[in-house]
């Protein structure tokens, strides 16, 4: 009889039917490739780079602006007078001008507020990109383990099919020699046909899971490293829900992003109200014009002009536009404030479900390990009972099916635990590559 410890060890390795090749890719390798090829992360990086330009754009509204304009024209003037003698004038001349103008804002409060908004947007972009990176870690880990689980289910279906096929052959032999009824053969055949259907479904699911991983890394994955032996799930540290909830409310990335949105929306109200205020600019210009003649003169001429001064602009009436923009900004601020609360509640929910999920998954691993021992023992007992005539072929098939189902449940519990640990870290904004490396160390080639 197979010892219970060997049953669990075999299940832990996720190599119940085969062993992963030495060249199999591990989780970290797949993640590195996803970093290079995932379009979602690439778009997030591009958005981050674009957002970095908000500060120099807003700063430009506080700095001088200088413009240069120039013109050059070729002119022709012709006229005649029907007098005695007749007067005919034909004159061609050139004319050109050069103007340099500069403006330095002295008081434009709306531009100052816009700069503050830009600083907030750039800071927010860091958290948005960090959130995209966390999301990539979760997507890669989930897709990676989905492929492993689907592959394990295919191998399990193959093993179950082989075992039931042996029971079917035995039932047929027993019927032929007259020590069993046709019922045993029919029951075994029904079980076999059901497993064949399950195997087809499992292979289709494996194809789908490999396609899902391909959507992230840009190619179909090769053989993947599987969960190694010696797996011992640990509980969250600290194992206190309140601590994780507090961390989530303070550090969850979506909460941080929502808070920045609220602050930016508050500044937008101030910016729109600033449109009612006067603006003062220091202005200067220099102009030079020259020509080889004119309509009235046929000699070279030139002129120069320069000025410096202050320009004051006071908005007196804008048709209600400013008031409307302020009301719009107030409504958007309320929307942003409510979104902060939504993000806080989601963070609270994710922390609670993540914490309980890790604890539950860890307990499930222990429970299914024991259940697998019991299921294997029941199968061996029924197998022996069939040999002595106190158990039927159906009893053996049912207990055998229970063994394989428990092995599926145990495998699912392993993956639920591993992904659950990552999700809990993500809920408190602490998920990074080191966490992925810790999971990766549990894999073996």
Mean pLDDT in the chain?
A: 88
**Segment-wise mean pLDDT, segments of 10 residues, the chain, 445 residues:** 42 44 82 95 97 97 96 79 71 86 96 97 97 97 95 90 82 75 82 89 95 93 85 90 96 97 97 96 94 69 91 94 96 97 97 95 94 92 82 81 90 93 96 93 79
Count of alpha carbons within 13 angstroms of residue 173, beta-carbon side: 6
Helix (H, G, I), strand (E, B) or coil at 421: helix
pLDDT given for residue 6 in this prediction: 42
Cβ atoms of 289 and 302 within 8 Å: the answer is yes
Position 401 scores a pLDDT of 85
Q: Cis ω on the peptide bond leading into residue 166 (within 30° of 0)? A: no
Q: What global pTM score does this model have?
A: 0.84
- The answer to whether 365 and 414 are in contact (CB under 8 A) is yes
Query: Could you write out the three-class secondary structure of 205-259?
Result: HHHHHHHHHHHHHCCCCCCECEECCCCCCCCCCCCCHHHHHHHHHHHCHHHHHHH
Q: What is the pLDDT of residue 390?
A: 76
The Cα 226–Cα 242 span in angstroms is: 34
Q: For domain 4-64+109-276+319-444, give its CATH number from 3.30.1330.10, 3.40.50.150, 1.20.1600.10, 3.40.50.1700.
A: 1.20.1600.10
CA distance 199 to 89: 102
C-alpha span between 46 and 106 (Å, rounded): 35
> Distance between alpha carbon 237 and the CA centroid of its chain, in Å?
26
pLDDT in tens, 17-32: 344 455 789 999 999 9
Quote the pLDDT of residue 16: 38
Write down the pLDDT at residue 197.
93
Determine the pLDDT at residue 9.
44
d(CA 57, CA 68) in angstroms, rounded, equals 21
Alpha-carbon span 189 to 195, nearest angstrom:
10
Per-domain residue ranges for the chain?
A: 4-64+109-276+319-444
Write out pLDDT tens, residues 47-76: 999 999 999 999 999 999 999 999 988 887
Q: Taking CA 237 as the corner, what is the angle to CA 236 and CA 239, rounded to the nearest 5 degrees?
A: 70
């Amino acid at each position: 009889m197979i010892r219970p410890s060997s049953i669990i060890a075999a299940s832990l390795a996720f190599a119940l039917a085969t062993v992963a090749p030495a060249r199999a890719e591990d989780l970290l390798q797949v993640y590195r490739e996803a970093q290079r090829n995932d379009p979602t992360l690439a778009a997030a990086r591009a958005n981050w780079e674009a957002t970095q330009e908000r500060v120099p754009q807003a700063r430009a509204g506080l700095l001088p602006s200088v413009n240069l304009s120039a013109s050059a024209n070729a002119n022709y003037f012709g006229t005649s007078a029907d007098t005695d003698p007749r007067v005919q004038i034909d004159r061609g001349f050139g004319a050109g001008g050069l103007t340099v103008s500069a403006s330095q804002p002295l008081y434009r409060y709306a531009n100052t507020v816009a700069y503050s908004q830009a600083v907030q947007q750039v800071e927010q972009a860091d958290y948005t990109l960090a959130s995209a990176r966390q999301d990539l870690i979760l997507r890669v880990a989930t897709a990676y383990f989905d492929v492993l689980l689907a592959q394990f289910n295919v191998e399990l279906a193959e093993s179950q099919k082989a075992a039931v096929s042996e029971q079917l052959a035995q039932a047929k032999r027993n019927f032929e020699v007259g020590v069993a009824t046709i019922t045993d053969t029919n029951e075994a055949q029904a079980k076999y046909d059901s497993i064949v259907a399950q195997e087809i479904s499992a292979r289709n699911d494996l194809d789908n899971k490999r396609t899902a991983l391909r959507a992230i890394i840009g190619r179909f994955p090769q053989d993947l490293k599987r969960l190694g032996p010696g797996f011992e799930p640990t509980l969250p540290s600290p194992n206190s829900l309140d601590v994780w909830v507090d961390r989530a409310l303070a550090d969850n990335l979506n909460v941080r992003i929502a808070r920045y949105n609220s602050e930016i929306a508050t500044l937008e109200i101030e910016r729109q109200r600033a449109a009612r205020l006067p603006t003062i600019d220091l202005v200067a210009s220099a102009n030079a014009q020259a020509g080889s003649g004119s309509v009235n003169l046929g000699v070279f001429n030139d002129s120069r002009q320069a000025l410096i001064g202050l320009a004051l602009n006071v908005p007196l009436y804008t048709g209600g536009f400013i008031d409307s923009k302020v009301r719009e900004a107030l409504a958007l601020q309320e929307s942003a404030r409510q979104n902060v609360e939504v993000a806080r509640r989601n963070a609270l929910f994710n922390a609670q479900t993540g914490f309980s999920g890790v604890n539950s998954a860890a307990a499930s691993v222990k429970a299914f390990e024991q259940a697998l021992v019991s299921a294997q023992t029941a199968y061996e007992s029924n197998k022996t009972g069939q040999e002595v005539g106190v158990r039927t072929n159906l009893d053996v098939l049912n207990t055998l099916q229970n063994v394989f189902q428990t092995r599926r449940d145990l495998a699912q519990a392993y993956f639920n635990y591993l992904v659950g640990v990552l999700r809990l870290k993500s809920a408190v904004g602490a998920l990074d590559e080191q966490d992925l490396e810790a999971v990766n160390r549990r894999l073996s080639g």
